Amino acid sequence: MPVVGAVRHRDAVDSSAERAEQAYGHRLRHDPETLRASFADASTTPFWLDDPARPAARPALRGDATADLVIVGGGFCGLWTALIAKERDPDRRVVLLEGRRIGWAASGRNGGFCEPSLTHGEENGRRHFPDELGVLDRLAAENQRELAATLERYGIDAEWEATGILTVATEPHQVAGLLESAAGNDRFLLGRDLARHADSPLFRAGVLSPDGCAYVHPAKLAWGLAAAAERLGVEIHEHSPARRLRTTSAGVEVDTRHGTVRAARAALATNAFPALLPALRLFTVPIYDYVLMTEPLSAEQLAAIGWTGRYGITDSGREFHYARKTADDRILFGGYDAIYHLGRAIREAQDQRPETFERLADHFFSTFPQLQGVRFTHRWGGAIDMSTQLVAFHGTARGGRVAYSAGYTGLGVAATRFGAETMLDLLEGADTDRTRLTMSRRLPVPIPPEPLAYPLIQLMRRAVAKSDRTGEDTPLIKLAGLLGIGFDS
C-alpha cells in the first residue's frame, strides 16, 4: 500500500485543532439568506433530466397485450432486465411498463456513482454475508465489466468514466480507519499531498482509490438502455402505471389504467414504490436524498480547491456527502440528510426540501470556502428504497411466476444489472452463483408499519449522528447490528 506523507500524520491531525469540533452538523455556519440566494434561481428539475436531448415519451399501453415476460418499472433494474432477457432469448416477447417516464425516478436523480460493490462496503458485507464475501466480490467485478462492455457493444454514450474515488476523513477518529482501509493501488494522503487532490479545511486525511468507482450520466444510461432494448424488440410503454397483479392458470396478468398485459412471467422492478406483492411492502422504506448542482466551474476555480482530477469525493461519516464532476465541470454535491417522511409516502412535493438545500449549501461552502459566490443551477431530491441490510434482496413469488428485486439503498447504478440477471435466473429456474446467494434466498429484517416506523427511524438517525460525532457506536446501533439492521444516509 503506497502511503504518501505518513511522516506528517501527527502534524496533519494536530494542525486541525482550530477546526470546529465536528466538521459537519445541522447548525448553519453561513448566513441563511446568503445560502438561500445561492440556490434561489435553481431549477427543480434534476440536472440529468433537464436535457433537450431527452427522448420523446413513448405511448401508453392501450388495450391488451401478450408477452412471455412483463416487466414493471422503467428504471435501471427494469431496463437491464428487458435488455438481458432479449440477449438470452431473442425470440422472447418482452413488454415493459413504466408509470411515468423512463428514468424519471431514482434512475434519473442519483449522482451517477457506478460502484462495483454489491454489499455497500466490506463492513456491511461481513455483517450480513460473512461466508459469501469472496463470491460477492467476484460477481461484483464481473458485473462491472459486463456493464462497461454493454455500453460499448450498443454504443450507449452514458459519459462513462472509470476514474476512481477519494474518500476523506473529516473527524479525527476517522483517520485511523481510513488508513486501515487502504489496500492494493490505494494511496493514503495527508497534508500537502491531500491538498493537491482536494484542498479543504475540513479534510484531515484521504484515500485515493483509482479502481474504486466509475461514473455515468444516469439519465443517458437509462435512455440508452431503453433504446438498445427496443432495437432488440422490447415493447416499452410509458405513462402506464401497473395497478394490479393477478396470477392465472396461464401465468400472470398486470392491469394498467387503459389495458392489461398477459404474460407467462413477471419481473417487478419498482424501487421505492409500493410493491405489487403486498407481502413485500414492509421490507423497504422510502428515504429521501437531496442534491445541489453548481454552475460550470472554470479551470482556475477547480485548481483553487485542488480538484483537477476526474475522481469523485466522499467522506467517511455514516451521514456522508458525495461529490463528483459533470462533463462540463459542474460539481454535484449531495447526501448527508436522509429524510423519512411520515407514512412511507412518496410525493412529488417531497422532492424539494429547502432546509436540506440550505444545509447542503452550508456544507459545500464550508468544505470549499474558495468557491464562495458560486451559484447552484439545479436542486432536487428523490426516494431511495432502503432495506435494513442496506443492499438489495431478490426472490420469487406466486409459484415462481413472479420475480422481484428491491432494497438497493442508494447502491443501484451498477447493482441493478446484477439484480436483473438474478431475477432472470430465478424465473428460468436456473441454479447459479447468483441464485445461491443469501440475498436471493432470504428477506431482510422488515421495517415496522406506522405508527412505529417514524419514531424508530428518527431514533436511529439521532444515534447515527451521535456516532459520527464521537466515533463510537451507541447502544442502539450495536443492538440494531445484532438484529441485522443497519442505517446509512
> What pLDDT does residue 399 have?
97
- Cα separation, 179 vs 2, in Å, equals 11
Return contacts of 460-463, CB within 8 angstroms, 24+ apart: 460/487, 461/338, 461/340, 461/487
> How confident is the model at residue 481, as a pLDDT?
85
R_g of the chain computed on alpha carbons: 22
pTM: 0.95
Positive or negative CA dihedral for 483, 397, 440, 119? negative
To 5 degrees, how large is the angle CA 373–CA 377–CA 382? 125
The tally of CA atoms less than 13 A away on the side-chain side of residue 345 is 8
**Torsion angle, alpha carbons of 382, 384, 385, 390, to 10:** -170
User: Strand, helix or coil at 67?
Assistant: strand
Residues of the chain with pLDDT below 70 are 1-21, 487-489
pLDDT of residue 482: 84
| Model pLDDT, residue 194 | 98
What is the helix, strand, coil percentage profile of the chain, to 5? Answer: 35, 20, 45
pLDDT number for residue 288 = 98
